Structure 1
Amino acid sequence: MTDPIDFNALRYIGWPWPGAPEDPAWQAMFAAHPQARPARVIEQHRSGYVVADAPEASMKTESPPEWQRPRFPSHERAAVGDWVLLDGIRIVALLPRRTSIKRGAAGEHYHQQVIAANIDTVFIVCGLDADFNPRRIERYLLLVGGGGAAPVVVLTKADQTEYSEDALAVLEDLAAQQIPLLAINGKDPASVAALMPWLQPGHTIVLVGSSGAGKSTLTNTLLGHERMKTNTVRVNDSRGRHTTTYRALMSLPTGACLIDTPGMRELKPTGEETLAEGGFADIEALTLQCRFRNCAHQQEPGCAVQEAIERGDIDESRLQNYLKLREEVANAAAKLAQRQAEQATERKSTGRGAQWRPIGKGKRR
């Protein structure tokens, strides 16, 4: 007879319900594996996973044989933040994700990489030094928007500049779309306290941003002690070294869970993103007002987007980034459709269905 599941302990590592799972898909997984118990992935390494079923109760696990096959889709393997079912120390099921943040992996062949799963909020961290790049922030917002989690833009190193207000003004188009923007000193607990509304018990937050943006410094302040290594950035471009080398989930004193991630240089769309949810809702709305349905928003007569630029409502560089990202999303969507068609043909030819439940887009709570 197995021990009863301690759902109260699970709440401290982000379990979304006070008792038994309410999601029918989760219930089906529990019914299929009655002897298994839930745990959360808190570290992901090349050699395997570390999971926990309570705070400070971690263990190394064995992944299913299917996950170890070279052609098994990487986004269908567990990622940090995922909930799995364990039989002993072996993972026997991956519970469907509520939300996630993904990117297109590097390389010519299409595949997705899950950065973090089952998250409530994404802190997009950008330093107020040479790291400050509004176009990169928009790219992060695009990746976050399609996964169901809520974005918050966190501008760090506010103590090192007199231009925090100017930086916030540059991002006013995002603020107008109800995307929270905060400028903080990541080393000062009083300044970091501005993030408390998103750090409530049971919530999960992930930090994303480039190396040197201040993610590790912010993590240490939120934890209340020096756990993550930090390094100085290069003077000429404020780029940092990879002080965080793997993704890890940590429990905060507030009762929330925090996932720190290594800096990401390449941010490719997966093809599932929606520009309206990715920080471009205002431009998307304007495109519907153009005279021509196939308007390229360049020099066509009756272009509502160009008229907004002339009025000063839209920045020209932001439009160019929108057009660039729109093309990237369209190209990725075409590759995704081709990949799905190939998989359907392969399943039909072999007569085998998917062994694991497909993971679709999450829904924002």
Structure 2
Amino acid sequence: MTSSSAVFTALAPYGWDDAWADAFTSYESEGLLPGRVVRVDRGQCDVVTPGGVVRADTAFVTPHDPLRVVCTGDWVAVEPGGNPRYVRAYLPRRTAFVRSTSSKRSEGQILAANVDHAVVAVSLALELDLGRVERFLALAWESGAQPVVVLTKADLVPDPVTLAHLVQDVETTAPGVPVLTVSALHGDGLDVLVSLVGSGTTVLLGQSGAGKSTLANALVGEDVMDVQAARDVDGKGRHTTTTRNLLPLPSGGVLIDTPGLRGVGLFDAETGVGQVFSEIEELAEECRFHDCAHETEPGCAVRSAVDSGVLPARRLESYRKLMRENQWIVAKTDARLRSEIRKDWRRKGAEGKAAMEAKRGRWM
């Protein structure tokens, strides 16, 4: 049996603390070992334990619910030996990154667990897609982690005035979120990023070609991830990272590098969307009607802010789009909500028809 002090010595660099130790007590009495999942691949996973990294089978923790499968970042109870050895359970997660899958079954896909900071990597080699940044931030806020936006490849924007304008655009899109510029090639800005993420668990998010693997190598201090050049045509890269990997950082803490995400579908992320668009949520409290859709209703404070130029129209459109998408995803698994949405559609359709008939009456 591994002593408690040995467990802390071996696993503390990966985030083990007193709370995790308390949660593991019942499994310790069964002779199981604690460990953190550093990689998952086709029903098996690599787990760092007090005795080192072991390969374990996840057959005993593979439920039908895709949100309950073992993922990178999980703390698990693993058998001390055996061929194969098995993961017997995972500890309750503190945070979890979930996106909707591309399937038609409205399922969520868990990307990483027990994360403290989410670094959203955005390449300055491309024109800024603020809508995509908002999507990633909604995903990050909903998970329970603290997001940070990192504008990578800053060396490609040598003009400081242009760079400052780009940062300002993203800051407007990301209220309450630190926005950094980094050049992993030259090491610029890395010290600020390291000081922000501290010694916790950090996940790297972003689309292919955003420079995540280069950033991961710079943070780790060695070439642990393969790097491929992005295409000149659109700045997009191929999936350099194909699995989620948990890597220890020399400054303390660990880093989870994820594959580039071409699709960033929301999954029950209303709270996250509200956090991204906090200024709209605050304005909505001043609307005359509590269920104001911010369209044509009288006394709409949100529309007034758009008309006066205080709130960019693009922000409102993006907010509506993400809220509709999230509502639709939730409705697919909630029959009552689905019925309410259909009733709302019928009501709006009837109102539109009545308005058209009224106009025809005036013209006749």
Q: Identity of paired residues, percent?
A: 35
| Counterparts of 2:278 and 2:266, CA distance in 1 | 17
Alignment-derived partner of residue 287 in structure 1: 284
Q: Is 2:4 the counterpart of 1:8?
A: no
Return closer, same or farther for 1:311/1:255 CA change in 2, 3 Å cut-off. same
Distance in 2, matches of 1:110 and 1:325, equals 16
Unaligned runs of 5+ in 1: 340-365
Aligned runs of 1:137-176 on 2, under 5 Å? Answer: 137-161=133-157, 162=159, 163-174=162-173
TM-score by length of 1: 0.84
Deviation at 1:141, TM superposition (A): 1.0
Q: Aligned equivalents of 2:138 and 2:71: distance in 1?
A: 20
Task: Note if contact 2:60-2:87 (Cα within 8 Å) is conserved in structure 1.
Answer: no
Q: Secondary structure at the match of 1:274?
A: helix
Deviation of 1:95 after TM superposition, in Å, equals 0.5
Residue-pair matches, total: 327
Equivalent of 1:183, from 181, 184, 189? 181
The answer to whether the aligner puts 1:196 opposite 2:191 as a matched pair is: no
Tell me if the contact between 1:12 and 1:251 (Cα under 8 Å) persists in the aligned partners: yes
Q: Deviations over 1:330-350 (max 9, x none)?
A: 1122223359xxxxxxxxxxx
**Conservation of the 8 A alpha-carbon contact between 1:103 and 1:115:** yes
Structure index of larger Rg:
2
Amino acid at match of 2:53: S
Q: Report matched runs for 1:225-304 at 5 Å.
A: 225-275=222-272, 277-304=274-301
Alignment of 1:50-199 (within 5 A): 50-54=46-50, 57-65=52-60, 67=62, 72-88=64-80, 89-130=85-126, 132-161=128-157, 162=159, 163-174=162-173, 177-199=175-197
**Distance apart, 1:296 and its partner CA:** 2.4
With over 3 angstroms needed to count, the CA separation of the structure-2 counterparts of 1:310 and 1:275, relative to structure 1, is farther
Counterpart of 2:347? Answer: none
1:327 matches 2:299: no
Unaligned regions of 5+ residues in structure 2, if any? 337-364
Q: Which has the higher contact order (CA 8 A, sep 6+)?
A: 1
Structure-2 change in CA distance of 1:29 and 1:285 (3 Å)? farther
Report if the CA contact (8 A) 1:199-1:254 is conserved.
no
Q: What is the rounded CA distance, in whole Å, between the counterparts of 1:133 and 1:315 in structure 2?
A: 15
> What value does the CA root-mean-square deviation take over the aligned residues?
2.1
**How far off is 1:143 after superposition?**
1.2
Q: Which residue of 1 aligns with 2:344?
A: none
Distance 1:241 1:135 in 2: 22
The alignment partner of 1:80 has SS state of coil
- CA drift of 1:20 comes to 6.3
Q: Report the TM-score when normalising by structure 2.
A: 0.84
Query: In the TM superposition, what is the alpha-carbon distance from 1:184 to its structure 2 partner?
Result: 1.3
Q: CA deviation at 1:259?
A: 0.4
SS of the equivalent of 1:234 reads coil
Alpha-carbon distance in 1 for matches of 2:121, 2:207: 8
Paired residue secondary structure (1:146): helix
**Higher helix residue share:** 2
